[in-house]
Structure 1
Amino acid sequence: MLGRDVSPATFKGTIADMETSVGVSTYAAQYSPGELPKEVKIEGKTYKTDEWMNTPSSILDAIPRRLHLQPDHPLTITRKLIESRFPGYKTHNNLFPIVTTGQNFDSLGFPLDHIGRSRTDTYYLNKETVLRTHTSAHQADTFRNNESEGYLISADVYRRDAIDRSHYPVFHQMEGARTWDRQQAEKEGKNLAYIIWEDVEKIPKHDIAVEDPNPTYHAERNPLQTGHSPEAVEAIAAHLKRSLEDMVVTIFNAAKSASDAETSGEPLKVRWVEAYFPFTSPSWELEVFWQGDWLEVLGCGIVSQPILNNASVPNRIGWAFGLGLERIAMLLYSIPDIRLFWSKDERFLLQFSEQKSISPFVPFSKYPECFKDVSFWLRGGSSAAGTPIASAAPVPTSTPSFHENDVMEIAREICGDLVEDVRLVDEFVHPKTGRRSMCYRINYRSLERTLTNKETNELHERLRTTIVARLGVELR
C-alpha cells in the first residue's frame, strides 16, 4: 500500500505500502531441525513446507479472525466509513491471505535481492508461498479482471516486525484504485482529460484549507511517465486529490466530533507533499494537521504503467492510494495500543457499534508494567540484523546471522500479547574478543489484568531459554 500505518518501511513503494539484500535465519525463530512440519492445513487447504517455512502457529491462528469483517469492530466501522466515500467502487474484503511469491513480489517488480523477500521480514510456508505482506499482492489480478473502473481492497496482511504499541505482525490495509480506458475514449471521439474532469465535478466539494504548493509533476522530483500526457495526468491528479480529500474530511470530522472540545475547535486542514514510490509517478503523501502536528495519512500516485501493461490492461491509466486501517482507527477512537484490536474482552468490544456515533475509547484501568532484560553474546562472526548475500534464492544455513526480528518472533510466540514492548537498550563489541553483546528490555504488561511476579518470571525464563535454543547465543 502507498503508505503504511504501523509498520516498517521494508516494503515502502508498493501500492499497498506507499506509507539490503536477502538474508536468512535458522527457521526464523520458530522451528529447529527435526521440528519442521511437512505440511500445514489452512482453512481446508494443504500446503507443503520446506526449509523456507518460518510461520509460527500463532500467526496461522490469526488468519480466521478477519477483524475487518467482524460486526461492530472498530476496524470494520473504519473500513465502512472509508468505503462510503467511494460509491460505485467494487470492494474486495475477503481475499485469501496465502499467495505466491509471484503475486506478492514479482507482479510488482520487486528486485530479486529486495529485503522484502527475506525470511527475516516475510512469513513463508515454502519457497514459493507466503502470507501476503500487503494488499498489493492482489493488485495485478484485480486490474487484470477489470471488473470495475474503481476498486477497494481491504485485508489482513502479515509481516515479521518489531514489538511495541503501534506494531503487530498481523495488521490491516486498504488500497484503492481508479482507472480510465484511453482506447475507449478514442473510439468515442472524446478527449480523455475532458472525460476525467467531468468525473472530478461529480465528487463532493469541501471547504477545508488545502496546501498544495507544488506543480502536479516535475521533471526531476516527480516526473511524468513515458506515454502519459500532461493533460491527462493533471486531470487524474485532480480526481485523485479531490477523492482522497473528501475521504479524509469525512474521517477527521468524525474524529473531531469524538474528541475533546479543545481539539474539536481546531480547523481542519490538509496538505499535499511530493513523495517517491517505485510503483507510482507522480506520487504524493496526504498529511492532516491534527492535534497540533502534521500527520501522514496515506500515500498515492499515478499507477506505474508497466503494472497495468503486465496485467493485460495497457489501455488503462489511473491512480491508486493505500493506507493502514489500524492507524486510522487509532486516530478515530483514540485507541492507544494496537494489541487492543485483537482483544476479546467485552470491556473493549462493547464500546463500539456501527449504529452509534464514534466516541473515544475509554481505557481500562492501566495495569502495571514489568521490565526485564535479556542480554547475550552473539556467536563468533555473527553480525546483527542479518547478513546480505548475493543469491536471489538462498537456502537457510546452519550458521545464520542474527536478526532482531527473530527475537521479536520468539517473544510473541512465548508471551503472546502479554508483551507490550521489546527494544534494544544496549549493544557493544568486546575490545579483546570482538564478540558482540546485545541487551533487550522486555516490557511485560497485560491489557486486561495484573500479571503476577510468578507469571512474568516464568515467561521470561522461557523466553531466555528459547532464545538460546533457537538462535545459538550465549546468555550473559
Structure 2
Amino acid sequence: MHQLRLLQKCHGAYRRLSSSANTGPLEILGAHHPTDSFTNVGPSILSKIPLRLHTQPGHPLSTLRSIIESHFPTYSHLSSFSPLVTPFKNFDELSFPKDHPGRSPTDSYYINKNLMLRTHTSAHEVDVFGRGEDKWLLTADVYRRDEIDASHYPVFHQMEGARLFSADKASMKELEEDNEYLERVLEKSNIIIEDIPHISPSNPVQETHDPVHAELVAKNLKLSLNSLILRLFGGAASNAEPLRVRWIEAYFPFTSPSFEVEVFFRGKWLEILGCGVVIQSTLDTASMFYSCSSFFLSTGFYTLYIDVKNKIGWAFGLGLERIAMILYSIPDIRLFWSTDERFLSQFKPGDITTTFKAYSKFPSCFKDVSFWNAVAAPLHENDFCDLVRDVAGDLVEDVKMIDSFVHPKTNRSSTCYRINYRSMDRSLSNEEVNELQKVVVARLIDEFRVEIR
C-alpha cells in the first residue's frame, strides 16, 4: 500500500470519490466520470494521464516527436487531444469488427461502458479529417492492458500522420510530380529499399477507389516514409553499409492496402511502423458527422460543409518508445517514466545519436504466486498484470507465467506467476518486496476469488 500512496502523492492525478471500488466517480483531468461494471482503470494508470511525456522539453520522446515534425514542416502538428474517447470513436468509426479482441476489457481500459482511454491515435482520425486537415501529424499517449516486460508498458506514445488528396486529374498530376521528386532524392541517398507491389490480390485496392489513384497514393506513402526513415536511421549508415528498409504486406481494419515497415539496424530487422491507404468509410464518416459547423445569423440557420468524401489518402502510425529504444539503445521501457537526472541528463534536444549508458543495475527479487482459478471466471493474464501494476507500479520489471495446468480429477485450473521486482533507481529490501507481495496476494483473493496454493 505504500507504493499506491506514493503514486497518489507524487502525481495527484486521480481521486476516488467513494471508498468502494467502482461505485463512485473518478476524477480525471479535472472532470468527474461515473463508474460501472466496465470500469477497470486503476491508480497506476490514472497517475500517468497528466504527464504527457511527448511534450516535456528535453525528454527523448519529445525530441523524437520534434524531429519527425520537422521532417513534415507543412503538416499541422497536433498534440492536445484528450485521451478520453468513446468506444464508438475508438473502434466503430474506424471499421473495427464487432468481435475484435481490442474491445474487450481485458485488452483496453474503460472508465465506464461509454468512455475509455484511447488505444491508438487513430481514434481522432475522423475528428481531424472532418475539420478540413489534409496534412497532419498527431502525437498522443495511448493506453492498452498488456503484459509486463522490458518492451511493454500500459501507457505509451504514438504518432499518427496522414495526407489526403483530391481524387481529380489535376491533384493526381501533382501527386505524380511529388512522387518523381521523392524518387530522385532517394536514388541519391545511401539506402536500399526492398519493396513489394503497391497493390496485390492479397492487399487489394478498395472497391470505391480508382486503382490508378490508389496506386499513386500508396506509392507516395512509401516514398514519404522511406524519406522519414532515412532521416531517423540514416545517420548510422556508412558509405560501405547503406540503410536497408523492407516493406511487408499487412492487415489493419482502417486501411487497404496496408503495410508494415522494417529497418535493418545494428544487425537486426526491426519493425518500425504500420500504414496504408485510408479506408474510405472513415472519410465518409468524417463528412457525415464532423465536417460541418453550424451557427445562427440574423437570417437563420446555416451549415458549412467540408467535403472529404471525394478525397483519397494515406495514414501511418508509429510508436515513439519503440523507435527511441532502438535509436538510443534504451533497454527498459520503464526508463522513459524515470525522473532520475542520471537518465534525463543523457539526452539533448535535437539529438538522436546518443547511446544510453546504464547508470545502475540494482538487484532483482523474485516472488512466485500460485493459485487455483475461480471456476466461474478464470483470471486473464492482463488482469493479473494490471493488478500487479496497481500495487507495485514501476517497481516490477517483468511478470511471467511459469506454470499452468488443469487437475485431471477436479478439472480445476491452476496458474503460477513469477514477479520480478527491481527498481531502476535504488535497491529494494526484501521486507519492502514482501509487503508488496502480500498486497498482490490479498487483492487476488478479494477481487478474483482465487485459492492460493
Q: TM-score, normalised by structure 1?
A: 0.83
Call closer, same or farther: CA 1:437–1:264 in 2, change over 3 Å.
farther
SS of equivalent residue, structure 1 residue 58: helix
1:299 maps onto 2:299 in alignment: no
Call closer, same or farther: CA 1:133–1:31 in 2, change over 3 Å.
farther
1:283 maps onto 2:258 in alignment: yes
Q: Give the whole-Å Cα distance in 2 for the aligned partners of 1:355 and 1:68.
A: 14
Contact 1:31 1:54 in 2 (8 A): no
2:71 paired residue among 64, 82, 85? 85
SS of equivalent residue, structure 1 residue 311: helix
Equivalent residue runs for 1:20-35 within 5 Å: 34-35=20-21
2:151 paired residue among 155, 166, 176? 166
SS of equivalent residue, structure 2 residue 50: helix
Structure 1, unmatched stretches of 5+, are: 1-29, 258-262, 383-399
1:339 maps onto 2:334 in alignment: yes
Give the aligned residue type for 2:243. Answer: L
Call closer, same or farther: CA 1:164–1:222 in 2, change over 3 Å.
same
SS of equivalent residue, structure 1 residue 65: coil
C-alpha displacement of 1:233: 1.9
- Alignment partner, residue 174 of structure 2: 195
2:62 paired residue among 76, 79, 85? 76
C-alpha displacement of 1:129: 0.5
Give the aligned residue type for 1:340. Answer: L
- Alignment partner, residue 220 of structure 2: 239
1:150 maps onto 2:135 in alignment: yes
C-alpha displacement of 1:202: 4.7
C-alpha displacement of 1:31: 13
- Alignment partner, residue 319 of structure 1: 314
C-alpha displacement of 1:110: 2.2
1:216 maps onto 2:195 in alignment: no
- Alignment partner, residue 45 of structure 2: 59
Give the aligned residue type for 1:214. Answer: I
Contact 1:167 1:338 in 2 (8 A): yes
C-alpha displacement of 1:265: 6.4
C-alpha displacement of 1:32: 12
- Alignment partner, residue 345 of structure 2: 350
Equivalent residue runs for 1:265-284 within 5 Å: 266-284=241-259
2:233 paired residue among 252, 261, 264? 252
1:39 maps onto 2:25 in alignment: yes
Equivalent residue runs for 1:375-414 within 5 Å: 375-380=370-375, 382=376, 400-414=377-391
SS of equivalent residue, structure 2 residue 411: coil
Call closer, same or farther: CA 1:362–1:401 in 2, change over 3 Å.
same
Q: Give the whole-Å Cα distance in 1 for the aligned partners of 2:19 and 2:92.
A: 30
1:450 maps onto 2:432 in alignment: no
Q: Give the whole-Å Cα distance in 2 for the aligned partners of 1:110 and 1:355.
A: 37
Contact 2:137 2:160 in 1 (8 A): yes
Give the aligned residue type for 1:403. Answer: H
Q: Give the whole-Å Cα distance in 2 for the aligned partners of 1:212 and 1:270.
A: 6
1:97 maps onto 2:83 in alignment: yes
Q: Give the whole-Å Cα distance in 2 for the aligned partners of 1:295 and 1:417.
A: 26
Call closer, same or farther: CA 1:308–1:84 in 2, change over 3 Å.
same
SS of equivalent residue, structure 1 residue 84: helix
Q: Give the whole-Å Cα distance in 2 for the aligned partners of 1:409 and 1:163.
A: 9
- Alignment partner, residue 101 of structure 2: 115
C-alpha displacement of 1:36: 2.1
Contact 2:129 2:286 in 1 (8 A): yes
Deviations 1:324-345 (A, max 9, x none): 0000110111100000000011
Call closer, same or farther: CA 1:310–1:237 in 2, change over 3 Å.
same
Contact 2:251 2:258 in 1 (8 A): yes
Deviations 1:403-443 (A, max 9, x none): 11111011101111110000101001111111111000111
Give the aligned residue type for 2:131. Answer: N
**Structure 1 vs Structure 2 CA RMSD:** 2.1
Deviations 1:194-236 (A, max 9, x none): 2211222454813234344532211x21111113222212221
Structure 2, unmatched stretches of 5+, are: 1-15, 288-307
Give the length in aligned residue pairs: 415
SS of equivalent residue, structure 1 residue 433: coil
Call closer, same or farther: CA 1:210–1:450 in 2, change over 3 Å.
same
Contact 2:87 2:116 in 1 (8 A): yes
Q: Give the whole-Å Cα distance in 2 for the aligned partners of 1:357 and 1:116.
A: 33
SS of equivalent residue, structure 1 residue 36: coil
SS of equivalent residue, structure 2 residue 178: helix
C-alpha displacement of 1:264: 9.9
Contact 1:50 1:126 in 2 (8 A): yes
- Alignment partner, residue 137 of structure 1: 123
Call closer, same or farther: CA 1:32–1:64 in 2, change over 3 Å.
closer
Deviations 1:359-388 (A, max 9, x none): 1111112111111111001123x4xxxxxx
- % identical equivalent positions: 52
1:205 maps onto 2:185 in alignment: yes
Call closer, same or farther: CA 1:210–1:234 in 2, change over 3 Å.
farther
Call closer, same or farther: CA 1:355–1:127 in 2, change over 3 Å.
closer
SS of equivalent residue, structure 2 residue 433: helix
Q: TM-score, normalised by structure 2?
A: 0.87
- Alignment partner, residue 365 of structure 1: 360
Q: Give the whole-Å Cα distance in 2 for the aligned partners of 1:441 and 1:42.
A: 32
Q: Give the whole-Å Cα distance in 2 for the aligned partners of 1:470 and 1:460.
A: 15
Q: Give the whole-Å Cα distance in 2 for the aligned partners of 1:265 and 1:370.
A: 45
